[in-house]
Amino acid sequence: MPAVQNLSGDDLIVVTGGAGFIGSNIALHLAEAGERVVVCDFFRSGEKWRNVAGAWLYDIVRPNELPKWLARHRDKVNAIVHMAAISSTTEKDVDKFVEANIRLTLDLWNWCVTHAVRLIYASSAATYGDGKAGFSDEQSRAALAALRPLNAYGWSKHVVDRRVVDDVTCGRATPPQWAGLKFFNVYGPNETHKSVMQSLVSKIFPVVKAGEVVTLFKSHDPRYADGGQLRDFTYVKDCVAVVSWLLGHPETSGLFNVGTGTPRSFLDLVGVVGAVVGCAPNIRFIDTPDELRAQYQYFTCADITKLRRAGFHHPFYSLEDGVRDYLGQLS
């Protein structure tokens, strides 16, 4: 995995959502690399604390205390890796998205501008909507204006991307380095606390292992067979590798897709899990719920040309290798 460079021994890296899925994997990697990591997150009464239990952390901050903490440590913070968000695509309270996904991110953007601190934040492939406008991470106003997210989650991420690109396009002040990462269908360790928002890999592993029936959504689009819906399934270690590489290349800024660039079907995924477990999965197809059908993505595929052109040449995990590595840790 690419090593972090250009940080001094006194630099702090703040990881918001640092006990969550992607955030905890980033925090663990950076701490293992010897960086001084500050995790900002709510732990509440669940088991999320276990996600960072093995990390040597500099500090832990509650999100509501982050502004005061940043004010006290502003001269030591080198970068903020902002992974905190409401990621539920079925959340109905749009104000929650505004507060957690839009307002917090733009507040951190403004703080990083003022204090010359680098900012890497999580965007999402959900900004691309049904994919009719393509999956290019071009960061022009026109390209972003053509995107139509299908749900409030995708919209909230899109609002931030458009504001950031507008600042860049208009020549307004920006952080010394910034990156918005459009993550595609991520799976991997430390996601079990996400409940219904876990990846399909995590959900079906115990089902397949127990020899029970795996349920998949039927296709309601004649272009796709049942189970033939396509996703760019991305192993979380690849997300960590991109963040680590960016921290080591402060000259690189922009919106970047983070995905394999290879779409695979849900049937492929179930088959791979079955192959790792050592049994043939039993599959039953059910109707996609009405409340999800209008915002369902049938195809996602990251165009990673821009990321490669920027100099990130680290190979992405194939679905087979990623699932095997992940399930090896769960077994």
**How many whole angstroms separate alpha carbon 160 and alpha carbon 180?**
9
Per-residue pLDDT tens over the stretch 303-312: 999 999 999 9
CATH homologous superfamily of 12-187+233-261: NAD(P)-binding Rossmann-like Domain (3.40.50.720)
Are β-strands 264-265 and 230-231 bridged in parallel, bridged antiparallel, or unpaired?
antiparallel
SS3 185: coil
Beta bridge partners of 264: 231
Report the pLDDT value the prediction gives residue 293, as an integer from 0 to 100: 87
- Say if CB 79 and CB 118 are below 8 A apart: yes
Mean pLDDT value across residues 269-285 = 96
Q: Tokens standing for 284?
A: 């039953």
**How many whole angstroms separate alpha carbon 222 and alpha carbon 228?**
11
Q: Which phi and psi angles does 168 have, rounded to 5°?
A: -65, -45
Beta bridge partners of 255: 180
Report the pLDDT value the prediction gives residue 195, as an integer from 0 to 100: 86
Residue 9, pLDDT > 90, answer no
Cα 103 to chain centroid, rounded: 18
Q: What angle do CA 290, 291, 293 make, to 5 degrees?
A: 60
Report the pLDDT value the prediction gives residue 7, as an integer from 0 to 100: 57
Per-residue pLDDT tens over the stretch 142-155: 999 999 999 999 99
Q: Is 235 a catalytic residue?
A: no
**How many whole angstroms separate alpha carbon 301 and alpha carbon 304?**
9
Q: Tokens standing for 132?
A: 């009719």
Read off the pLDDT band of 331 (50, 70, 90): confident
Cα 120 to chain centroid, rounded: 11
Q: Active site residue: 121, 128, 153, 317, which one?
A: 153
Q: Active site residue: 58, 96, 194, 224, which one?
A: 194
- pTM for this entry: 0.95
Number of residues in the chain: 331
What residue type is 23 in one-letter code? G
**How many whole angstroms separate alpha carbon 129 and alpha carbon 120?**
22
